[in-house]
Chain A
Amino acid sequence: MNKRGLTFYLSIYRKVLIQDLKSKMSYRADFVISTIGMIMTNLAGFITFMILFHNFPTINGWDYHHMLFLYGFSLVALTPVQCFFDNNWNLRFMVQSGDFIKYCFRPINVFFYFMSEVFDVKGLGQLAFGLGTLIYAWHHTGIPVTILTVSQAILFLLTASLFMIAIMNAAAATCFWIQGSGYVMVIMFRFKDFAKYPANIFSGIFKVVFTFIIPIAFVAYYPSLVLLTPSSVPLLSWLSPAIGILFFFLSYKFWMLGVSKYDFTGS
């Protein structure tokens, strides 16, 4: 008997989200400034990208619009981790101060309860920017717009986002064991910048690392190949949804293992 199934959790999340947004709206200045900040960050990233392409018209056989597609794809894929899992950044402070214990007193999943507390609105700006870029590039690369391609895009965008979520979950969960987990998170978060580039520009050891150890190549490259080169899709691309779910599941288990090992010393 499970009184609290998926519908229960969705409805709780929706209610927390509505309340949270309501209170955020009441801080108008804060809302406006963080939105402007997000636009600036994205613009800066985009300008860097343009400058790069001004100097190198193709990278390893990828032309401007293909690269732009990958860029937009990665931005959209990075939205869920930004919007729904941003509380990971607060985890280590709460664990160190002992405040984390409060998440263990409710009859609901600790991971869910913890993540539900923060919804980062800034991610929505990134989503809009990414979607715009993706649609523009889609149009110019001449990928057909059919039910198949659109549903493939949705499926593989979701897949891609799972990898980044998994990376950040695992990075955040290290705080249950080590003190300097902030660095681990920052480094992992920096790695996401590699997601914008086709993984075939990396060679040898880097390719292996970014595919299987820290699966950055899955955050955009492998899933997007399904749309970009439909005639020669690597096996890893087709397998990426399953691998994504596996990575996410493992990161969740790792996170929860941290919770159970953590001894909540101090009061």
Chain B
Amino acid sequence: MADEAILMKNVCKDFKVLNRHEGLKGSIQDLFSRDYRTVSAVKDVSVTVNKGEIVGYLGPNGAGKSTTIKMMTGVLEPTSGQILVNGLVPYKDRTRNCENIGVVFGQRSQLWWSLPLIESFKLLRDIYLVPQKEYEDMIALYRSLVDIEPILHKPVRQMSLGQRTLSDILAAFLHNPGIVFLDEPTIGLDVSMKSKIRDLIRGLNKEKHTTVILTTHDMGDVDALCRRIVIIDKGKKIYDNDIEHLKSYFGSYRTLRMRLGDDTWEERVIDEKTTDVMEVISQMQKTHKIKDIQLQEISTEEVIKKIYEGGSL
């Protein structure tokens, strides 16, 4: 088998959307209308992901992230282009593809709602035909990485969001898939739960060499887990490289924070090549009292924000 976990070549996905008309008359018109327009959700995206990598898959809302994930998991068929996941064409071989992937959608549990976690695990073991020995080893690994005792016998319905997400992630790795897709796994979680989840993902990736595709809006996730990121916007890939490389693009950028007279912090992102930091401070001083000043390296968050706003590099 090849070294690539995922191979996407010139993938496009179009949706047909009915042009809706306004008002009651419009609704009746829509009933018989053949008036469709084509919306391109993903445009000519090519990505290769190697085995064992954790790749951050980023982009603003509606950029086409979910559509891409749905194509890689075999739920949607690409309009054109080629996708190979673990050497299989996901859409044609949905069942076989599912054997070797795990999927977690942050806000949607895929576990049996009324069953205790351990029973869900046993069902998954049977569904994925996991040998008993491997199943036990996996549970032992889970125990070593995270304290699962308190949730093991709890029905999913009674769990907190954090416990549920944790359970879903564990469930996604249970059959030791080659690739796990995590769609916003830390959404809505508190700080300590977030770091617990990040540790768990890192631990599992290290132990099992699982490829992880992570979509998130939380740059903390990216900083903690990913070396490489892929950014798409309006369906097009606009960046695909290491995070460090990305930061060096913005190497001359600094974040200037100033504490003003009323104790609020004012933040400015400054490009040192074009703007003089001292100039900004003295300008500010004319109108406000400045109590304190901090100068920081640009954060991943700021870099991503700049890219989203700029549209491309």
Of the four ranges (under 10, 10 to 19, 20 to 34, 35 or more), the interface on chain A belongs to 20 to 34
Residue-wise, chain B 101-125 has the 8 Å CB interface mask toward A (1 for contact) of: 1010100101010110001001100
Given contacts A104-B73, A264-B75, contact A19 B119 (CB under 8 A): yes
Of B90-98, B194-202, B222-230, which stretch is located at the interface? B90-98
B76-99 with Cβ < 8 A to chain A:
76, 94-96, 98-99
Given contacts A20-B114, A105-B103, contact A12 B94 (CB under 8 A): no
A105 contact set on B, CB distance < 8 A: 73, 75, 98, 101, 103, 110
The 8 Å CB contact of A23, one of B76, B128, B155, is B155
Query: What separation, in Å, do the CA atoms of A267 and B217 have in the docked complex?
Result: 14
Residue A106 is within 8 A (CB to CB) of chain B in the complex? yes
Closest to A267 in B: B66
Given contacts A23-B155, A264-B76, contact A106 B98 (CB under 8 A): yes
Query: What separation, in Å, do the CA atoms of A19 and B126 have in the docked complex?
Result: 14
Residue A83 is within 8 A (CB to CB) of chain B in the complex? no
B76 contact set on A, CB distance < 8 A: 263-264
Closest to A103 in B: B110
Are B123 and A16 closer than 8 Å at their CB atoms?
yes
Query: What separation, in Å, do the CA atoms of A107 and B88 have in the docked complex?
Result: 14
Query: What separation, in Å, do the CA atoms of A70 and B259 have in the docked complex?
Result: 84
Residue A203 is within 8 A (CB to CB) of chain B in the complex? no
Residue A102 is within 8 A (CB to CB) of chain B in the complex? yes
Are B105 and A102 closer than 8 Å at their CB atoms?
yes
Are A263 and B126 closer than 8 Å at their CB atoms?
no
Residue B2 is within 8 A (CB to CB) of chain A in the complex? no
Are A3 and B129 closer than 8 Å at their CB atoms?
yes
Residue B183 is within 8 A (CB to CB) of chain A in the complex? yes
Closest to B104 in A: A105
Query: What separation, in Å, do the CA atoms of A108 and B98 have in the docked complex?
Result: 9
Dominant SS among interface residues on chain B: mixed
B115 contact set on A, CB distance < 8 A: 19-20, 23
Query: What separation, in Å, do the CA atoms of A133 and B66 have in the docked complex?
Result: 54
Are B127 and A106 closer than 8 Å at their CB atoms?
yes
A101 contact set on B, CB distance < 8 A: 70, 75, 105, 108
Residue B74 is within 8 A (CB to CB) of chain A in the complex? yes
Of the four ranges (under 10, 10 to 19, 20 to 34, 35 or more), the interface on chain B belongs to 20 to 34
Residue A146 is within 8 A (CB to CB) of chain B in the complex? no
Residue A231 is within 8 A (CB to CB) of chain B in the complex? no
Query: What separation, in Å, do the CA atoms of A16 and B122 have in the docked complex?
Result: 10
The 8 Å CB contact of A263, one of B15, B127, B128, is B15
Closest to B106 in A: A267
Query: What separation, in Å, do the CA atoms of A149 and B134 have in the docked complex?
Result: 51
Closest to B111 in A: A102
Are A107 and B73 closer than 8 Å at their CB atoms?
no
Residue A139 is within 8 A (CB to CB) of chain B in the complex? no
Closest to A18 in B: B119
Residue-wise, chain A 1-42 has the 8 Å CB interface mask toward B (1 for contact) of: 001100000011001100110011000000000000000000
Residue A120 is within 8 A (CB to CB) of chain B in the complex? no
Query: What separation, in Å, do the CA atoms of A217 and B138 have in the docked complex?
Result: 54
Residue-wise, chain A 91-105 has the 8 Å CB interface mask toward B (1 for contact) of: 000000011011011
Are A265 and B75 closer than 8 Å at their CB atoms?
no
B41-93 with Cβ < 8 A to chain A:
66, 70, 73-76
Are A11 and B126 closer than 8 Å at their CB atoms?
yes
Closest to B77 in A: A260
Given contacts A23-B114, A107-B128, contact A15 B75 (CB under 8 A): no
Query: What separation, in Å, do the CA atoms of A102 and B94 have in the docked complex?
Result: 13
A247-267 with Cβ < 8 A to chain B:
263-265, 267
- Nearest CB of chain A from residue B108's CB, rounded to whole Å: 6
A176-209 with Cβ < 8 A to chain B:
none
Closest to B98 in A: A107
Query: What separation, in Å, do the CA atoms of A101 and B66 have in the docked complex?
Result: 12
A265 contact set on B, CB distance < 8 A: 15
Closest to B115 in A: A19
Query: What separation, in Å, do the CA atoms of A108 and B95 have in the docked complex?
Result: 6
Residue-wise, chain A 62-78 has the 8 Å CB interface mask toward B (1 for contact) of: 00000000000000000
Query: What separation, in Å, do the CA atoms of A4 and B127 have in the docked complex?
Result: 9
B114 contact set on A, CB distance < 8 A: 20, 23-24
Of residues A99, A101, A102, A264, which shows the largest number of chain B Cβ atoms within 10 Å of its Cβ?
A101
Of residues B73, B98, B115, B127, which shows the largest number of chain A Cβ atoms within 10 Å of its Cβ?
B127
Are B74 and A104 closer than 8 Å at their CB atoms?
yes
The 8 Å CB contact of B99, one of A12, A104, A107, is A107
Nearest 3 Cβ contacts at the A-B interface: A267-B66, A107-B98, A23-B114
Q: Enumerate 16 A-B pairs (CB-CB under 8 Å) in ascending A order.
A: A11-B126, A12-B127, A15-B122, A15-B123, A16-B123, A19-B119, A23-B114, A101-B108, A102-B110, A104-B73, A104-B98, A105-B98, A106-B98, A106-B127, A107-B99, A264-B70
Q: 13 new A-B pairs (CB below 8 Å) besides A4-B129, A105-B110, A117-B112?
A: A12-B127, A16-B123, A23-B114, A24-B114, A101-B75, A101-B108, A102-B108, A105-B103, A106-B127, A107-B98, A107-B127, A267-B66, A267-B183
